[in-house]
Structure 1
Amino acid sequence: MGEMQGKTVEIEVTNVAHGGVAVARHEGRVIFVSDAIPGERVLARITEDSKKSFWRAETLSVITASEHRRPHVWAAASIDRAPEDRAGGAEFGHIDIAHQRELKRQVLADSLSRMAGVTTEATVEALPGPHNGTGWRTRVRLQVAEDGTPGPYAARSHRVIAVTDLPLATPALAAIAPLDEKFPGSAHVDIVVPSVGNPFVLAGGATNADRGRAHRITERVGEREFRLDARGFWQVHQHAAETLTRAVQDAVDESLFDPRASNLDLYGGVGLLAAAVGDRFGNHVRITTVESDSLATDHAAENLVEWTGAAAVTARVEQFLRGLGATAGAHERDSLRRGTVILDPPRSGAGKEVVAELVALGPAQIVYVACDPVALARDVALFAAGGYELGGLRAFDLFPNTHHVEAVATLTRA
């Protein structure tokens, strides 16, 4: 612990950083500060000064407010509370929604410029829903305190905060959230409201061992239905699956798409984006969806059954690609080079190994669905070094009132 930790400082907030924090400087030192907005002057408490290059701080009060500041959409996360008592999960809730999107645009543009040398004019597109960015979550995980009380963690900690409402949740989810019940012995409580059928409240232990087929649910996207496990991955915003389906369909360059090539859907989950490609290009499409979760690939096989050329493979993506590279003959290599790859990695991005394997296979185009702008920018730079350039890019506000932003990028051989 350094000598500044716990000290209060008055700082000018200059710009936004990745991760839901703003940037300020104090005596030449960079400070990443939460609950502030660029342009504000705030009173903040230093929470971490052990790093030589920067400190972290939390806003205690606002001295000069931004014109974009509004009352927090979630009273439990308001600046009126002590920082340690503020609920986490809505870290942009004090910012006007249009300015939230502008800040997310800046983070995406700055990341691509700094890490990949790419300039983008992409704006962050809104999804349908209330104008203040509430009422969109169809899935919420509440943590459980030692006394059995459920709630979100406090921002940047593992302390459970009791709350009386969940404003980011859809009205249907908020109506069944067991906020005043106790769950002794559980690690967390999952509330899931699928678009078809009954909602679920699932108390769980510390592992995923309690996942099971007893909790199969159905999600509808347009005219298509997907089966999945209630605790399996699905987009959280009630309009996200449909938005990404259309965005991926639009991002694929038809002139480069060969339905009979070896098309791939990597980190494919239960087959949402593979089905998006299939629905755009017809039931003769060949596409293999790859996912490490065997329960998800079981469902993907079922969800993609109408495409005779579709297959669902359970494997880690890097191992699957390594195997392809090692075993593919001349005909299959040609088929892979003519192929389109849908790439939807976790927040950490695809990374060096997966990018290197893809570059070696040399597909005609890659549609990259990214939930982290810094990971995307890093991977775009890696692809550029391998001869791929960024073409189209769109960004979507899939997580209003948080710092998260989704992007869909198309990469083609330069």
Structure 2
Amino acid sequence: MPISFGQPLPSTRYRTTLRCGVAADAGRAAQITREIEGSGLDQSHMHGQGGVSGQGGAIGQGGMIGQGDMVGRVGFRKRQSHEVHPVPSCLVAHPLIEELIHVGRFPGASSVTFRVGARTSERMVIVDGEELSQKSLGLPDDVRIVTAQALTDGAQAWIHEQVAGHSFRISARSFFQARPDGADALVAAVARAVAPFDAVHDRLVDLYGGVGLFTKGLNAQRAVLVERSESSISDARVNLFELGTKIVASSVERWQPTSAEVVVADPARAGLNAAGVDAVVATGAERVALVSCDPASLARDLGLFAAAGFEVQGIELIDMFPQTHHIETVATLRRVSASRVTR
């Protein structure tokens, strides 16, 4: 079984979605500053200026960050804890997010999610806390601000991103890949996995289809997309309108399979499991692309496919998340014998 590696992607400044905690306690912020100063670690990777100050604050891109100034700043939670360590910068954050990390203040919020369109320059901040004005948060005028409660109450907010030559609407609570160049690579890898694909005549089933990345990336004109997220379904209806895609609001486990020549499945980290593999097998598809972000669940699912009469013909690895241990894979599967139900 051949294993190939996708083209290397930039290892820094790539994440277009980032969720952070917010520092709330001035005393703890001061303690964190002292810990940073006394650590002896090179902090230059955290910000453009390098180093930390010797005067009771960290140095960010615009100069010193004092102890009091750290309250309301975003940061990252200590492992297995809710404790937030404010940071002046982040190595993997896209520059459009990096600016917001540096200038933003979110007093009273428990967490903040930044979402940006790297290729459209659109920016959105989702605040888990009370509604505050643009000015009070210190954010530029172009940033769309929405609270988590407003979204729960029915508010809608989105950005757009360009991937593989197509525009995608991405709502505040819709899943999308963490970087557009990585999404480009995934679409290309999936296209290779299901080749030859006739966009006009082949019937495609897009499982865990999200906002429609693979259906639109493949320009599939006879597609069924299965997704259970209301937010993602709303986006998919917009993104796939011109293709006339049938969108099914359902979990894959509850979906009644329909016949197809090709299946693309991009499940969450837990993978397909037996029920998901059964759904794929029941479509009668000869060609399957399985996208996975967890090697353990991928290995289990590939074993289930083998038992169901499929052969793994290749795996492509894409390093979507440099600076982390996570990796994305696209497995190419072909039906080689009569299918057998896996459970």
Call closer, same or farther: CA 1:214–1:258 in 2, change over 3 Å: closer
Cα distance in 1, alignment partners of residues 2 and 164 from structure 2 = 30
Cα distance in 1, alignment partners of residues 275 and 172 from structure 2 = 31
Is the CA contact 1:150–1:179 (under 8 Å) kept in the aligned structure 2?
Answer: no
Show CA shifts across 1:77-121 (max 9, x none).
Answer: xxxxxxxxxxxxxxxxxxxxxxxxxxxxxxxxxxxxxxxxxx553
Cα distance in 1, alignment partners of residues 150 and 275 from structure 2 = 32
Cα distance in 1, alignment partners of residues 150 and 17 from structure 2 = 17
The structural deviation recorded for 1:358 is 2.0
Cα distance in 2, alignment partners of residues 164 and 295 from structure 1 = 32
Tell me the equivalent position of 1:177.
101
The structural deviation recorded for 1:155 is 3.2
1:275 aligns with 2:216: yes
1:122 aligns with 2:44: no
Tell me the equivalent position of 1:202.
126
Is the CA contact 1:258–1:339 (under 8 Å) kept in the aligned structure 2?
Answer: no
TM-score (norm 1): 0.60
The structural deviation recorded for 1:181 is 2.4
SS of the equivalent of 2:4 reads coil
The structural deviation recorded for 1:213 is 5.0
Name the aligned partner's letter for residue 407 of structure 1: T
Cα distance in 2, alignment partners of residues 346 and 200 from structure 1 = 24
Tell me the equivalent position of 2:173.
231
Tell me the equivalent position of 1:219.
161
Name the aligned partner's letter for residue 302 of structure 1: V
Cα distance in 2, alignment partners of residues 172 and 258 from structure 1 = 35
Give me the CA root mean square deviation.
Answer: 2.4
The structural deviation recorded for 1:230 is 2.9
Is the CA contact 1:341–1:366 (under 8 Å) kept in the aligned structure 2?
Answer: yes
1:151 aligns with 2:33: no
1:189 aligns with 2:124: no
Name the aligned partner's letter for residue 311 of structure 1: K
Cα distance in 2, alignment partners of residues 383 and 307 from structure 1 = 30
Tell me the equivalent position of 2:253.
318
Cα distance in 1, alignment partners of residues 24 and 328 from structure 2 = 35
1:413 aligns with 2:332: no
Call closer, same or farther: CA 1:387–1:252 in 2, change over 3 Å: same
SS of the equivalent of 1:122 reads strand
Call closer, same or farther: CA 1:241–1:179 in 2, change over 3 Å: same
Is the CA contact 1:151–1:179 (under 8 Å) kept in the aligned structure 2?
Answer: no
Is the CA contact 2:164–2:187 (under 8 Å) kept in the aligned structure 1?
Answer: no
Show CA shifts across 1:11-32 (max 9, x none).
Answer: xxxxxxxxxxxxxxxxxxxxxx
TM-score (norm 2): 0.72
Is the CA contact 1:298–1:312 (under 8 Å) kept in the aligned structure 2?
Answer: no
Unpaired stretches in structure 2, ≥5 consecutive residues: 26-71, 131-146, 337-343
Call closer, same or farther: CA 1:172–1:261 in 2, change over 3 Å: closer
Call closer, same or farther: CA 1:209–1:352 in 2, change over 3 Å: farther
Cα distance in 2, alignment partners of residues 295 and 175 from structure 1 = 27
Is the CA contact 1:125–1:395 (under 8 Å) kept in the aligned structure 2?
Answer: no
Q: 1:242 aligns with which of 184, 187, 196?
A: 184
Cα distance in 1, alignment partners of residues 277 and 3 from structure 2 = 25
Cα distance in 1, alignment partners of residues 82 and 2 from structure 2 = 37
Tell me the equivalent position of 2:90.
166
Show CA shifts across 1:135-193 (max 9, x none).
Answer: 11111100235535531112344332221211111122101115762431x33101111
Cα distance in 1, alignment partners of residues 128 and 77 from structure 2 = 16
Q: 2:232 aligns with which of 292, 296, 302?
A: 296
Is the CA contact 1:213–1:229 (under 8 Å) kept in the aligned structure 2?
Answer: no
The structural deviation recorded for 1:389 is 1.0
Which structure's relative contact order is higher, taking Cα pairs within 8 Å and 6+ residues apart? 2
The structural deviation recorded for 1:227 is 1.1
Moved over 6 A (4+): none
Aligned length: 271
Q: 1:263 aligns with which of 204, 211, 227?
A: 204
Is the CA contact 1:263–1:286 (under 8 Å) kept in the aligned structure 2?
Answer: yes
SS of the equivalent of 2:241 reads coil
Tell me whether 294-303 or 212-221 shows the greater mean CA deviation: 212-221
The structural deviation recorded for 1:210 is 3.6
Is the CA contact 2:22–2:86 (under 8 Å) kept in the aligned structure 1?
Answer: no
1:373 aligns with 2:306: no
Tell me the equivalent position of 1:134.
12
